[in-house]
Structure 1
Amino acid sequence: MVPFAPGGTTDLVARLVAAGLQERLGVTVVADNRPGAGATLGSEQVARSAPDGYTLVMSNIASHAIGPTLYGNRVRYDPVKDFAHAALVVTNPSVWVASPSSGIRTLADAAARARSPAGLDVATSGAGSSNHMMVVRMSQLVGKEMNHIPFRGAGPAMQAVIAGQVPMMSDSLPSAASHIRQGSVVAVGMASAARHPAFPDVPTFREQGFDLASDSWFGLSFPAGTPAGIVERLNRETRAFLANPDIRGRFAELGGTPGDLTAEGYTEFVQREVAVWAPLVQASGATAD
């Protein structure tokens, strides 16, 4: 289950992994897109599925660390207790890109536009995504609320930016990488601790005077109660797939870092992310409306 629309990082990662697991396991692996409510709709469907090893979700920072707090009682699953977390697949930074026609080339340009009477519209893959939180946090630093424009996935949001319908987008690097290289959008700032090796010419937020850094993450999770043997088998096969030099090169090209955690390690990782993001979301005052 891919809880975002086609064309974004979650979808891209899910399809790469599905193809690799299909080859390694010798069974058909289907990537099924079920977007909505910040990736919580598809995730809830998996949480309520039979724990037989045939259904899993591309769990991510939106569905498991941010959404449960942002959407409150509308999320009917516990991000830790209702899943058997199997494997961390990839982590990657966020990047802000602008339409070439917008005239925005730096974060200072974006801040100035945000402070203007017209304000600044910033697209994301949806409410509850880490990139939504980037818009909230950047607004706090700029001192003026930016207009968050949520889409049902990174693919539709990126197309709106390329067409000049929205001037900017906060996106995960893998789904933006090819568009940056093609020149269909302008990379304005990378939300990484240091310049990213795949895009050394793109300055970080901190280099431009904005103290922000944010990584997205994506993994594989079954419904709670899935037999431990199945969870461990998927962990082994996923880590073996991610260790392949060609796959590591593909992820590096996209700006992602492959994961290498045990199932227990990934569960602990999700627990830490929930503990970090829940208070940040609450303190931000952000809502899903």
Structure 2
Amino acid sequence: MKNSLPRRQLLGGGLAAAALLPMAAPRAEAAWPSRPIRFIVPYPPGGSTDVVGRLIGQALSEELGQPIVIENRGGATATIGSQAVAQAKPDGYTLLLSNIASHAIAATLFRSLPYDPVKDFTHIALLVNTPTILVVNPSFPARSLADIVRLSKERPGGLDMASSGSGSSNHLLLVRFAELTGAKLNHVPYRGGGPAMTDVIAGTVPMMSDTLPSALPHLQAGSVRPIAVSGPERSALLPEVPTFREQGIDLINLPWYGLSGPAGLDAAIVKRLSEATRKILASAELRARLGEIGSIAGDMGPEEYTRLVREEMGRWAPVVRASGASAE
């Protein structure tokens, strides 16, 4: 009969030998980004914000080497989509087209905002500035801001002026305009810039403020007439249209869009995204495409953009309160 080792001795020896084998290395996490990135645009498809989001998304996708999937989540002054990003996992795979409405105006407009515009986000880059333009129906007699102020005081009840909605940056521009000039304006809010523009073209309302990208096709068609642009200088697309400042009113309004993620985003991801956005926004091709729709490429990194968000919250708070607009 052959000698055999006791079972316990065999097991013990096996365990000892196993202990001498090198341990399997932990599975390395793939470098970011290793899969598609969700880019939430907090407005419905088809508008100027959506166009900006898709231009940026396409350029970023090419730079990062991964698909960027646009997800339109509109509603509640851009706060629904913004809240979704604030609550997302901070892994770099959910990003937001943050903007003046969701991250500056909403802080005062909403009695109970479901997120903190600074603390609940990682702000990465300012992407785009978009001037606002004041337009009138072609039959309306005003040719300048001074004409609008004069007519508003001469006509009983003042002048009606439309916007894309109560508490929108377009509405607040009108509030500030009236504060600075004493113009008697009656705000007529619409559910979006499209319906408002339709009524201005029809003559139902004589004028409105709108973002330049939204108004541009109607200006080019001659359906409305421009009065003033809200940027610090004239638009290259409309060089004949003077600014508010040129007409004696110290008013600048540049609605902005930026790139943000949830709070706690890894510093390496923030750095990669910041470098990528700076690179694409410096490209002549993207700047030209943004310019074609009346937008201006931004140039701010994480610290500067975070500071801008904070400053804009303070800047617009008194104007929102003066407007009387509020949202639940």
1:272 match: secondary structure: helix
- Matched residue, 1:100: 138
Q: Does 1:190 align with 2:229?
A: yes
Give the whole-Å Cα distance in 1 for the aligned partners of 2:148 and 2:200: 14
The 1-side partners of 2:102 and 2:239 are apart by 30
Instruction: Trace 1:159-174 onto structure 2 (pairs within 5 A).
Output: 159-174=198-213
User: 2:167, 2:320 within 8 Å by CA — same for their partners in 1?
Assistant: no
- Root-mean-square deviation over aligned CA pairs: 2.4
Normalising by the residue count of structure 2, what TM-score does the alignment of the two structures yield? 0.78
Which of 233, 241, 250 pairs up with 1:211? Answer: 250
Q: 2:129 maps to what in 1?
A: 91
The 10-residue stretch of structure 1 (158-167 or 249-258) with the greater mean CA deviation from structure 2 = 158-167
Residue 20 in 1 paired to residue 59 in 2?
yes
Distance verdict in 2 for CA 1:99–1:46, change over 3 Å = farther
Q: Measured at CA, do residues 37 and 111 of structure 1 come closer, stay the same or move farther in structure 2, by a change above 3 Å? A: farther
From 268, 273, 281, the equivalent of 2:320 is: 281
Q: How do 1:110-149 residues align onto structure 2 when only pairs under 5 Å count?
A: 110-115=148-153, 116-149=155-188
Contact 1:86–1:231 under 8 Å retained in 2 = yes
1:81-126 per-residue CA deviation (whole Å, 9 max, x = no partner) reads 0111111101132211123244443323433443323533322233
Unmatched tracts of structure 2, length 5 or more: 1-39
- Cα 1:255/1:26, change in 2 over 3 Å: same
Q: What are structure 1's unaligned runs of at least 5 residues?
A: none
In 2, Cα distance between the equivalents of 1:183 and 1:32? 33
Inter-partner Cα distance in structure 1 for 2:68 and 2:188: 33
Q: Per-residue deviation at 1:164?
A: 3.6
- The residue that corresponds to 1:80 in the other structure is 118
Give the Cα separation in 1 of the matches to 2:195 and 2:83. 23
Question: Is the CA contact 1:12–1:175 (under 8 Å) kept in the aligned structure 2?
Answer: no
Runs of 4+ in 1 over 6 A off after TM superposition: none
For the pair shown, the structure with the greater C-alpha radius of gyration is 2
The aligned amino acid for 2:252 is A
Label 1:226 to 1:157 Cα distance change in 2 as closer, same or farther (>3 A): farther
Answer with 209-218 or 29-38: which moved more. 29-38
- What pairs with 1:223-234 in structure 2 (closer than 5 Å)? 223-234=262-273
1:24-65 Cα shifts (integer Å, max 9, x gaps): 333332333333332223222221222232222211111111
Kept in 1, the 8 Å contact 2:149–2:184? The answer is no
- In the superposition, the TM-score normalised over structure 1's length comes to 0.88
Aligned pairs, number:
287
Q: Note closer, same or farther for the CA distance 1:150–1:43 as it changes in structure 2 (3 Å cut).
A: farther
Within 1, Cα distance between the matches of 2:42 and 2:255? 15
Write the distance in 2 (CA, Å) between the matches of 1:164 and 1:8: 23
Matched, 1:272 2:272: no
What is the letter of the counterpart of residue 242 of structure 1?
Answer: L
What is the distance in 1 between the residues matched to 2:274 and 2:290?
A: 18
Q: Is the 8 A contact 1:136 1:286 kept in 2?
A: no
**Contact preservation (8 Å) 1:130, 1:216:** yes
Higher relative contact order (CA 8 A, sep 6+): 1
